[in-house]
Amino acid sequence: MKNTSSRGAKAITLAGAASLMVGGIAISASTVGATVKTAHTSAYLACVVTDTGGINDKSFNASAYAGLVAAQNKLGKSKLNIKYLSSQQESDYAPNIKTFVNEKCGIIVTVGFLMGNATWTAAHSYPNQHFAIVDQTNGDPNCYSGKCATAANIDGLTYSTDQDGFLAGYEAAAVSKSHIIATYGGMQFGSVTIYEDGFVAGARYYNAHLPKGGHKVKVLGWNPNTQKGDFVGSFTDQAGAATLTTGYLTSGADLVFPVAGSDGLGTNSAVKTWNSSHVNKALVDWVDTDGCVSDAGDCNLFLGSVTKGVTASVRDAVLAAQAGKFKGGNYVGNLKNAGVALVENTKYNKISASLAGTIKSLMAQIESGKISVDPTKYAASTN
């Protein structure tokens, strides 16, 4: 789908039969590639501008739009209309936001760290417009130290994904038969590397507390001590992701954790190809959403999904704004408030009861602060 900036495409409104499921929310097939008329022109309008991964990335863009769908399902179409614009390139962010300002969207949801500057600028240009942004605070995106300015009309939605990333890293280390696992990112942003930091921390914690019969593991693709690792360079290069993944598999990894939006579909493809000709099968940990819901066709590949509550937090932001209760500020999802979670694939790749019990215990200790998810707290000799 093309956007409305310089290409003349139109915003899309929800209607019709479901074809994509994200977090249990149906997204209509007829919303993709066509303009759908709505009879509720006086209803509150909530809008989302995606990043370049597009509305069907099966990751955070799709999850954000599913939040709008969830809000509409709760309120009904007579009270809430929803629209989205998919950005084809970064230069589309500002024009797409302006389009929705002109269309008088009650709240405009933007998706991803890359949209921070465009959202910040728009928030100051239109101080009476309400915004929410996924994976970014309501602070100045160009301020990295000291007391940073904030925007009262932005609701920042962030997530402590190092916490569920830690659980996934420990679990991956525990189930790996080759004792090598891997992770990579789409682009090197804090919202990406926080997942990887947690994943490596969990693997390092496993190495430091080896259970009986356990073997130390090596993690490829990311070193949190140096903050250096492998990145595709975008969130839309599935071929590049497949190449990276095949390199990990060739190096012995039997689980890959792609923190890369739709790039992860390239990992799934590479793992399927690998598994078709190798006795020892590889697995994938999916990111952002429950992969067995958002990418059901690849469910058999997933050990689990390292999720963040984008859908729920966007839904709540929209419902508050529609009710006249918008409050700019920052939401932080974590294990304790269920804003992040490790979702097990109980259909295809069940973990042992013993490991499940350990994961539950680790979760409680992370919530209480007894266990740190900082990877630099643990020995890095295997990384």
Residue pLDDT, tens place only, 82-96:
999 999 999 999 999
* Residue-level pLDDT at 380: 84
Range of 85's domain?
Answer: 12-159+311-333
Q: What band does 81 get if pLDDT is binned at 50, 70 and 90?
A: very high
Q: Are residues 225 and 368 in the same domain?
A: yes
Q: Cβ(283)–Cβ(56) under 8 Å?
A: no
Tell whether 17 is covered by a domain: yes
Q: What band does 381 get if pLDDT is binned at 50, 70 and 90?
A: low
CA 46 – CA 185 distance, rounded (Å)? 30
Q: Are residues 155 and 165 in the same domain?
A: no
Tell whether 271 is covered by a domain: yes
* Residue-level pLDDT at 6: 34
Q: Are residues 289 and 356 in the same domain?
A: yes
Give the number of domains in the chain. Answer: 2
- Max avg pLDDT among 19-28, 29-38, 219-228: 219-228
* Residue-level pLDDT at 35: 28
CA 120 – CA 133 distance, rounded (Å)? 10
* Residue-level pLDDT at 73: 97
Q: Cβ(44)–Cβ(79) under 8 Å?
A: yes
For the chain, how big is the Rg over CA atoms in Å? Answer: 21
CA 188 – CA 224 distance, rounded (Å)? 12
Tell whether 253 is covered by a domain: yes
Q: What band does 144 get if pLDDT is binned at 50, 70 and 90?
A: confident
Q: Residue 254 contacts by C-beta under 8 Å, 6 or more apart in sequence?
A: 176, 177, 178, 180, 181, 280, 281, 282, 283
Position 52 pLDDT exceeds 80: yes
* Residue-level pLDDT at 193: 97
Q: Are residues 149 and 123 in the same domain?
A: yes
CA 248 – CA 327 distance, rounded (Å)? 45
Average pLDDT over residues 282-293: 95
Q: 160-208, pLDDT tens digit by residue?
A: 999 999 999 999 999 999 999 999 999 999 999 999 999 999 999 999 9
* Percentage of residues of the chain with pLDDT beyond 90: 81
Tell whether 289 is covered by a domain: yes
Ranges of beta strands (E only) in the chain are: 12-13, 18-22, 25-28, 44-49, 80-85, 107-111, 130-134, 154-159, 180-185, 218-220, 222-223, 228-229, 255-259, 283-288, 302-308, 329-333, 340-344
* Percentage of residues of the chain with pLDDT beyond 70: 89
Q: Are residues 48 and 155 in the same domain?
A: yes
Position 29 pLDDT exceeds 80: no
Which DSSP string do the residues of 300-334 spell out, in sequence order?
GGEEEEEEE-HHHHHHHHHHHHHTT----EEEEE-
Tell whether 338 is covered by a domain: no
* Residue-level pLDDT at 274: 98
Q: Compute the mean pLDDT over every residue in the chain, rounded to the nearest whole number.
A: 89
Rounded to 10 degrees, what is the CA torsion of 87, 92, 95, 96? 10
* Residue-level pLDDT at 171: 98
* Residue-level pLDDT at 5: 34
CA 179 – CA 171 distance, rounded (Å)? 12
Which DSSP string do the residues of 262-285 spell out, in sequence order?
GGHHHHHHHHHHHHTT-SS--EEE
Q: Are residues 72 and 139 in the same domain?
A: yes
Tell whether 2 is covered by a domain: no
Position 26 pLDDT exceeds 60: no
Q: Give the sign of the dihedral formed by CA 237, CA 238, CA 243, CA 248.
A: positive
Position 259 pLDDT exceeds 70: yes
* Residue-level pLDDT at 42: 76
- 227-231's contacts with Cβ under 8 Å and 24+ in sequence apart are 227/193, 229/183, 229/184, 229/185, 229/188, 229/193, 229/196, 230/184, 230/185, 231/184, 231/185, 231/186, 231/187, 231/188, 231/192
Average pLDDT over residues 327-340: 95
Q: Is 103 exposed, middle or buried (0-12, 13-18, 19+ CB in 10 A)?
A: middle
Average pLDDT over residues 47-53: 93
Q: Are residues 106 and 182 in the same domain?
A: no
Q: What band does 382 get if pLDDT is binned at 50, 70 and 90?
A: low
Its pTM stands at 0.83
User: Where residue 262 sits, what CATH number does that domain have?
Assistant: 3.40.50.2300
